[in-house]
Structure 1
Amino acid sequence: MKRYKDSIYWILLSTVALIWGFPTVWVVFETFFGGNHHFGFTFKNLIDAWKAAPFPQYSVNTVIIVLGLLLIQLVFGAVAGFILARYEFPFKSLVTLVFIMQIVVPVYAVLIQEYDILRGFHLLDTKLGIMLPYAVSGIAVLSFRQAFKSVPPELEEAARMDGYNTLGIFRRVYLPQAIPASLAFGVISLTYHWTDFLWPMIVTNTAHARPIVVGLAMIAQSSESGMQWNLLASATAIVIIPVLIVFSLATRKILSAFSSTFNW
């Protein structure tokens, strides 16, 4: 009976995995084996897709946006999480609720207001304009808060007896305990902003600030390449391959970080 249940479970998981992974498999196949003028493995589709749009500029923009946002979110999340975890102050519960609401309410719910604000500060079509709405992350704050709350107060007292001030305690006692939280949030932030489309599409008009996913949309909309599926698949591969490599190389650490972090 147990083997029968295990077989059904395996079949269901395999079916879900096949359905979920088929688009990626199709993209990889079309990238390296597709096309009308060649047979077998080739890099020609990737080269053609790379030349079809200013992907070098898109890639640089994306790296700056993604890594810059991650740094800002980690710094603010660590500081705010530390304050929420170790200090008492008026309306602390309300402040915590604000960060929770920031997770619940999607950024696109206030998209028009954010667009008007950026227009007023002349930040449209800039990397900073793309980054500003995401600079403060409720997930980062609550993840660091949870990690810091797990630190025994005795460690802080021992550090104070050794002569460390608040900044020294924060750096040497609390931050090392938040490495799993940093890694787990880093994965969320990198993958989300690497593939974010709607907001960058709205606020950018030129290649100067346009990220790589929006560049992919420009290829899809162009009349020259609209029906060249191998070219579109290759452009898509340029977007997803870096994410797949990161996940492939660090799957165990990522899963371990997630399991130890998100237990608010």
Structure 2
Amino acid sequence: MKKKRLIHRVTMYVILTFLSFLFLFPLIWMLFSSLKDEFQIFRDMSSLKAFLPPRPSEVEGGYFQNYIAAFQRVDLFDYIINSLIYTIGIIVFGLIVNSMAGYALARFRFPFAGFWLGVIIATLIIPPESIFLPLYVLVYDLGWVNTYTGLIVPFIANAFAIFLFRQFFLDFPRELEEAAKMDGCSQLGIFFRIIVPLSKPVFATVAIVLFINHWNDFLWPLVVASDESIRTIQIGLQYFMNEPPIQWGQVMAALTVATIPMLIIFIFLQRYYVQGLTHTGTKN
């Protein structure tokens, strides 16, 4: 039996390692292509050299020539800062609002609670693009066009985040809350002093989901942020494709820079992310 388990475990590790490399291939190709010039990118396209860095003798101007040229061509730093403000604003306010909504749905008993939960979940099937026009009209009437407020506020509430929080809080032991009530702690105090500190996995999961979703946003920032001073990185990347000449080495360098924040967030929060997915959705 031990031998069979060992063989099974080794086989699983081999399969998972192969799949991980399979998913990493596009990132590896993008990274190494960002270090090459136009000729080298297309020369290596049909061979395994596409997944290898260029030789030092083949690089003129250093490995980071495309990165330097990309930052000189477009102010990527400002676009990255705008994207960070946009996504972090949604995450911070979204964690507060969605966690409180999920906690209310999991713990409080009020009329039509099941109905409102169904309405919230039903909004997941509505394409966001279908509400952009009325949403833009509302933002325009409020005077929020070309402001961070107009970018952030419409996406603070998130149905999927509320659902994840509710499912996680359903598994939370009620004994801790009852003990806190006996000590005279208010409901709001219970939430912020007991529930939040012990719910790091689901908070990390929601933070990663929100970050990935909104870091990659293109249409809404394009619609509501016509002022270049608050445009996000995804809009900035379009300059490399719309303004000739198209330098593919610079395009890959800009894409690599835009990918780095997502990788950093996931690397630091992946442990909590896995725990959050594991403990979410086990109760109805």
Question: TM-score band, normalised by the shorter chain?
Answer: 0.7 to 0.9
Is this contact kept in 1: 2:240–2:247, CA < 8 A?
A: no
Change (3 A) 1:234 1:262: farther
Of 30-39 and 100-109, deviating more is 30-39
Cα deviation, 1:93-114, whole Å, max 9, x if unaligned, reads 1211122123232322212221
Q: Is 1:176 matched with 2:197?
A: yes
Count of residue correspondences: 262
Cα deviation, 1:118-173, whole Å, max 9, x if unaligned, reads 22223222222222321101122122222222223322221111121222212223
**Secondary structure in structure 2 of the residue aligned to 1:257:** helix
Structure 2: segments with no counterpart, 5+ residues? 40-57
Instruction: Report the equivalent of 2:280.
Output: 261
Q: Is 1:23 matched with 2:23?
A: no
**Secondary structure in structure 2 of the residue aligned to 1:176:** coil
Is this contact kept in 2: 1:33–1:41, CA < 8 A?
A: no
Instruction: Report the equivalent of 2:161.
Output: 140
Is this contact kept in 2: 1:126–1:208, CA < 8 A?
A: no
Give the Cα–Cα distance (whole angstroms) in 2 for the partners of residues 3 and 155 of structure 1.
41
Structure 1 residue 9: deviation in Å? 8.1
- Normalising by structure 2, what TM-score? 0.81
Cα deviation, 1:221-258, whole Å, max 9, x if unaligned, reads 1124xx21001111111100221233334433322322
**Secondary structure in structure 1 of the residue aligned to 2:63:** coil
Structure 2 counterparts to residues 38-77 of structure 1, below 5 A: 38-39=59-60, 42-77=63-98
Once superposed, what is the RMSD of the aligned Cα atoms?
A: 2.8
Give the Cα–Cα distance (whole angstroms) in 1 for the partners of residues 261 and 230 of structure 2.
20
* Identity over aligned pairs, percent: 28
Change (3 A) 1:41 1:247: farther
- Normalising by structure 1, what TM-score? 0.86
Give the Cα–Cα distance (whole angstroms) in 2 for the partners of residues 86 and 10 of structure 1.
41
Structure 1: segments with no counterpart, 5+ residues? none
Of 27-36 and 235-244, deviating more is 27-36
Give the Cα–Cα distance (whole angstroms) in 1 for the partners of residues 229 and 119 of structure 2.
34
